[in-house]
Amino acid sequence: AIDALLVLSGSVLTSYVGVCGLFQRMAGDRCLPEFFSITNSWRGSPHYTILIFFAVCASMCVLLDGDITLLGAIYSISFLLVMGLFAFCGLWMKLTRPTLPRTINTHPMMFVLGLILVATAFTAVVILHPEMLTYFYMYYGITTFMVMTTFARETIFSTFLRLVSKNRLVRRTLKLFIKMDVAQKWVKSKLDLLRSQGVVYYTKNASLSQINRALQYIEENEEARWVRVVHVYQDQKDIPQHLVEYVQLLDCVYPRIRVDCILAKGEFGPSMVHHISKRISVPVNCMFINCPRKSFKHSLDRMGGVRVILNSEKGSLLDGIRLSLGSPQAPTDPDAVRSRLRNGVVTFLGGADAAESSEGEEPEQTH
């Protein structure tokens, strides 16, 4: 009995630790409402997540009348799907991120074999307990609905304001339940907050197509409408020749997105990422990079949670031809860069080693 108590306590505590970390990460990545990232001031634990997870587990026990066999079947279905996702994602990373540095290289056929074995076990569990799929779909559907609603918050808020302003029937109906002024003010504040959230995209080269692909990804998958394109340099001559012009051009191409350029002096690495995150108040997990190559000396787990969204791409062919012909390099002096910029914003930040000395200073900006 003591052994069983210890084993079950360990598994239950492990599940609570796992779900708290998962929900906090998804809330930080804006896949779930910020509600799940709230922590209490006493212990620093996400109490709302703990209570909701307890309610979900308790409701499952009530629906299945505490039948251990049926609860085990539900657990088996969920666990096998997670294992199948591990195999699928490992194979997908092999195909889509071939240059991603990794310490362990596994042959793709091992992922295929694992996926086949998991599918076989999943089929066996479903054949033995087909009625459990109903409960699984119910809980999975609720979770998916919550995530998709979070993704569509901007659309929902905008549609609400549009209906309220143009449809009298909607206004009269809502007045029966809520105060219109309070509701509109709350929705507008939430909408402004979503649109003012910023993200960062680190670029090594002045590649117009690569930055454009990054902006397309952000427009399709992120709520933020403020993008800072950041380039880290060690010497002014290393600043890409047309980076500022490309940012200015894309700022005009995407009228719904504000695109700024930040030039930070230093070496790109974990300390620089945290320094920029602190200076511009953008979380590290809202910073994007291209897929690093094997020559990148920092591992991704040390980068603080930056997200890989695109494969690496070399500079444009036109830039390569200009450099090979020895064409004069565009001025990279800060004053010269400022003189060429009109609509966008360029910011010059000191390196990560100057974080303490510049903590109370505002970054210099030029419009």
In tens, the pLDDT along 229-245 reads 999 988 888 888 889 89
Assign 3-class secondary structure to 162-228: HHHHHCHHHHHHHHCCCCHHHHHHHHHHHHHHHHHCEEEEECCCCCHHHHHHHHHHHHHHCCCCEEE
Distance from the Cα of residue 26 to its chain's centroid? 8
Which contiguous run of DSSP H or E holds residue 265? strand 258-265
CB 227 within 8 A of CB 258: yes
Condensed to tens digits (0 to 9), the pLDDT of residues 99-123 reads 777 777 788 899 999 999 999 999 9
Residues 6+ apart with CB under 8 A from 195: 154, 223, 224, 225, 226
Burial label, 52 (beta-carbon count in 10 A; 0-12, 13-18, 19+):
middle
User: Which amino acid would we find at residue 201?
Assistant: Y
Question: What is the rounded CA–CA span in Å between residue 75 and residue 167?
Answer: 47
Burial label, 169 (beta-carbon count in 10 A; 0-12, 13-18, 19+):
exposed
Question: What is the rounded CA–CA span in Å between residue 321 and residue 340?
Answer: 23
CB 248 within 8 A of CB 342: yes
Question: What is the rounded CA–CA span in Å between residue 232 and residue 138?
Answer: 48
Structure tokens given for 200: 């960062």
pLDDT value of position 123:
93
CB 221 within 8 A of CB 248: no
pLDDT value of position 25:
85
Rg of the chain over all Cα atoms, to the nearest angstrom: 25
CB 218 within 8 A of CB 199: yes
Average of per-residue pLDDT across 202-228? 89
C-alpha triplet 83, 284, 152: angle, nearest 5° = 70
- What is the DSSP annotation of 35-102? GGG---TTT---HHHHHHHHHHHHHHHHHTTT-HHHHHHHHHHHHHHHHHHHHHHHHHHHHH-TT---
Question: What is the rounded CA–CA span in Å between residue 186 and residue 196?
Answer: 15
Task: Answer yes or no: pTM beyond 0.85.
Answer: no
The pLDDT confidence band at residue 153, using thresholds 50, 70 and 90, is confident
Lowest mean pLDDT among 20-34, 134-148, 166-180, 314-328: 314-328
Output phi, psi for 201, to 5 deg. -125, 120
Question: What is the rounded CA–CA span in Å between residue 135 and residue 70?
Answer: 10
First to last CA, the chain: 71
Residues 6+ apart with CB under 8 A from 342: 248
Q: Which one, of 47, 22, 57, 58, lies nearest residue 147 by Cα?
A: 22
Condensed to tens digits (0 to 9), the pLDDT of residues 10-49 reads 778 888 888 898 898 888 888 888 888 888 888 888 888 9
At residue 4, does pLDDT exceed 80? no
Task: State percent of the chain over pLDDT 90.
Answer: 20
Structure tokens given for 105: 């290289």
CB 365 within 8 A of CB 280: no
Task: State percent of the chain over pLDDT 70.
Answer: 84
Question: What is the rounded CA–CA span in Å between residue 295 and residue 101?
Answer: 8
The pLDDT confidence band at residue 201, using thresholds 50, 70 and 90, is very high
pLDDT value of position 158:
86
Specify the pairing of strand 287-290 against strand 258-265.
unpaired
At residue 332, does pLDDT exceed 60? no
**Buried-exposed string 258-275: b where 16+ CB fall within 10 A, e elsewhere:** bbbbbbbbbebbbbbbeb
